[in-house]
Amino acid sequence: MSTRSAFYLVYDPYLNRGHVPVLLKETIASLKPSKGDVAVDLTLGRGGHALEIGKIIESTKENPRLYGIDLDYENIEFAKKIINENNVHISTHHGSFIEWSRTLEDKNQTADVLFADLGVCSTHLDCPSKGFSFMSDGPLDMRLNQKQSRTAADILKEYSVEEIKNMITDFGEEPLARRIAEKIGQTRLFEPILRTSQLAKIVEEAYGTRAKKSKRHPSTRTFMALRIAVNDELTALQVLLNDIFTHARRKKGALAPNARIGFITFHSLEDRIVKRSFREFQKSGLGLASSKIITATKEETKVNPRATSAKLRSFIFKGIKN
């Protein structure tokens, strides 16, 4: 058995904490954090990746070097507790990852390591009250940041049928988007669509006999599209990557000259944005993108099936600032 395979059969301290960090060993190997580095976890989540990076860079209260950003305040509080229990210090910021540079500049720091796991935290999917999953009944919420006012239910109420169709097509790549949107439009004439179970039923009815033939649950793409729309995820990702590009070119930016960045994506829309941006970074002479996509081993997917669709891309800047 290879070292890479054995890691997942032995290292699983997060299994009883509601979330398993995906591609953990591969992330460490790609980003190469070392003692004295400054690292930023752009999507802190439950703190799994940040903890391991923090141990390596030796972030302490006296010399804080680890930063974590998340839209979910509950995630931040949980992660801080887990990380502090392991004698690692982390400075956290509740907000969007597009605020990463300001967070560092306020501390007069530059990042050697930037990392983002763009997947929805398992605890969100498993908690019915957050409304992310079609597998259990709950309010149609889907907000990562509870301070945000607009929910998934609001979108289904306010968008026109054409806008809903475009959303499901663009963000979910759903071939039956028009039928689903029209079904949503018909249903809301008689009752508001406020529950995940309601929406799942509407989608299944729109699928008709095709629902039984579908390899995945009929609601998968529609729920993903709605979640992306609620949290404006793709726009935020592009803004983030544009900002990283800007700081990589600055003489006094928030990115260290030889910084390493890594992104874990879970669907093609995210991956295309990251791939395209990394290509532009490389064309601009800023450094080198990873030559291949890293995916989960069979051993990891057995422990954590949600890792199946995970893809890791990394980029290493070469220290030139124009």
**pLDDT (tens digit, 9 = 90+) per residue, 167-204?**
999 999 999 999 999 999 999 999 999 999 999 999 99
- Residues 122, 19: contact at Cβ < 8 Å? yes
Q: Is 217 helix (H, G, I), strand (E, B) or coil?
A: coil
For residue 113, what are its two tokens? 């390591």
pLDDT score of 67 more than 50:
yes
- Residues 88, 235: contact at Cβ < 8 Å? no
Query: Residue 145 carries which side chain, given as an amino acid letter?
Result: N
Q: Residue 117: CB partners within 8 Å, gap ≥ 6?
A: 21, 22, 43, 45, 49, 264
pLDDT score of 129 more than 90:
no
Strand partners, 312: 264, 294
pLDDT score of 1 more than 60:
no
Q: What is the pLDDT, as a whole number, of residue 120?
A: 74
**Confidence class for position 145, pLDDT limits 50, 70, 90:** confident
Question: Is 213 or 140 the better-scoring residue by pLDDT?
Answer: 140
- How far apart are the C-alpha atoms of 22 and 186, rounded to whole Å? 40
Choose among 100, 125, 126: nearest CA to 114.
100
**Confidence class for position 272, pLDDT limits 50, 70, 90:** very high
Angle between helices 196-207 and 177-187 (to 10 degrees): 130
Choose among 150, 133, 152, 149: nearest CA to 141.
152
Q: Is 89 helix (H, G, I), strand (E, B) or coil?
A: coil
- How far apart are the C-alpha atoms of 257 and 146, rounded to whole Å? 36
Q: Residue 202's CB: how many other CB atoms inside 10 A?
A: 20
- How far apart are the C-alpha atoms of 183 and 189, rounded to whole Å? 10
Which of the 8 DSSP states describes residue 273?
Answer: H
Strand partners, 290: none
Q: What is the pLDDT, as a whole number, of residue 123?
A: 64
pLDDT score of 134 more than 90:
no
